[in-house]
């Protein structure tokens, strides 16, 4: 009898606890269902956004960039890499090109090649953006009578390899500030008034996935690209109502001369496209997204990088950059 009474009391206690827990179980079920629905909606939206940005433009007809923005495009840092490839993609769509770089021989060669290949007008301006305020009066004078519809701020510099901040010379620090940051500000300041007057135009500022999180041993480069990203997004809010489209373009590594410090990323591969391959995708996002990697493979890399805990990102990039630095310094010694 005592045993039966104990069992009955346990059963009654269990039943009462179960009743009191029902409310919490139901509440947790509702929260779980809401979370699942939210994630499904988010996944569907993100999938649609990626298709809209990286697939649909490739399937549909090309946008008439001349009609939408204007006859001429200015591209800085346009004799190599992404800048050259982007200029060629613009020319392919009938846009006249003004190339700006510091090497006159390369400018002449690229200008001639674009004219002969794509049958558009080209011009070039020799300018060294590392010289502080020096080049801008001449650039402003050369562009004053042009109908500039698109500005691509691509010019950028990076140290020969990842390194600790105190190992960088003052010249390298000033070059990154003048070339990576000041040039974009001054070029926008020169061409934007004309765009506002016409009530149309597009500005593309080329940032980097190094801006997605603090990146050790690329401190100044990453910070300069973060500046461009912030600058672009704020500028778009200021001038979208005036018909100006501003895009922060955030490529990951492409197989260009800037990546030669690492043999692993200096050759084209699945995640490291050639500049030409990258530019053909990136230009299709112009007018569609104000902040994009420009290429779906780079979007995967950026999304993963952005969502990693900061300490993991910092540790991982520090580890890789130490290896690259060691190889670069060993190569110099040899």
Question: DSSP character for 54?
Answer: I
Residue of 69, 86, 118, 221 marked catalytic: 221
Q: CB pairs under 8 A, 24+ apart, for 138-145?
A: 139/100, 139/187, 139/190, 140/190, 142/98, 143/74, 143/98, 143/190, 143/191
Question: DSSP character for 142?
Answer: H
Write the CB contacts of 153 (distance below 8 Å, at least 6 apart in sequence): 76, 183, 184, 187, 188, 203, 204, 205, 206, 228
Residue 153's alpha-carbon distances to 90, 99, 205, 246, 248, in angstroms, are 14, 11, 5, 11, 10
**DSSP annotation string for 253-305:** --BSGGGTT-TTTSS--SSS-BHHHHHHHHGGGTTT-SEE-SSHHHHHHHHHH
Would you call 239 a catalytic residue per the annotation? no
Q: Of 190, 172, 82, whose CA–CA distance to 127 is shortest?
A: 190
Q: Give the residue numbers marked as catalytic.
A: 221
């Amino acid at each position: 009898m005592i045993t039966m009474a104990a069992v009955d009391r346990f059963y009654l206690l269990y039943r009462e606890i179960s009743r009191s827990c029902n409310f919490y179980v139901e509440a947790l079920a509702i929260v779980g269902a809401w979370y699942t629905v939210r994630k499904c909606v988010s996944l569907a939206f993100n999938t649609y956004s990626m298709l809209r940005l990286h697939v649909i433009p490739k399937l549909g007809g090309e946008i008439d960039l001349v009609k939408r923005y204007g006859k001429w495009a200015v591209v800085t840092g346009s004799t190599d890499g992404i800048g050259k490839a982007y200029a060629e993609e613009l020319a392919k769509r009938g846009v006249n090109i003004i190339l700006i770089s510091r090497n006159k021989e390369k400018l002449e060669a690229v200008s001639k090649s674009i004219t002969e290949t794509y049958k558009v007008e080209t011009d070039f301006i020799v300018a060294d953006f590392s010289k502080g305020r020096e080049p801008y009066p001449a650039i402003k004078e050369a562009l004053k009578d042009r109908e500039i519809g698109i500005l691509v701020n691509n010019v950028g510099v990076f140290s020969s390899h990842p390194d600790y901040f105190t190992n960088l010379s003052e010249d390298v620090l000033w070059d990154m500030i003048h070339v990576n940051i000041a040039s974009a500000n001054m070029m926008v300041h020169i061409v934007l008034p004309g765009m506002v007057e016409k009530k149309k135009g597009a500005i593309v500022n080329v940032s980097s996935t190094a801006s997605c999180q603090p990146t050790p041993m690329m401190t100044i480069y990453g910070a300069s690209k973060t500046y461009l990203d912030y600058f672009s997004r704020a500028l778009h809010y200021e001038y979208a109502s005036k018909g100006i489209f501003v895009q922060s373009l955030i490529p990951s590594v492409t197989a260009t001369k800037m990546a030669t410090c690492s043999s692993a990323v200096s050759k084209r591969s699945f995640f490291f496209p050639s500049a030409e391959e990258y530019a053909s995708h990136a230009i299709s996002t112009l007018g569609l997204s104000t902040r994009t990697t420009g290429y779906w493979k780079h979007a995967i890399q950026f999304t993963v990088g952005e969502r990693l805990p900061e300490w993991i990102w910092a540790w991982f990039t520090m580890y890789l950059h130490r290896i690259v630095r060691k190889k670069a310094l060993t190569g110099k010694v040899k």
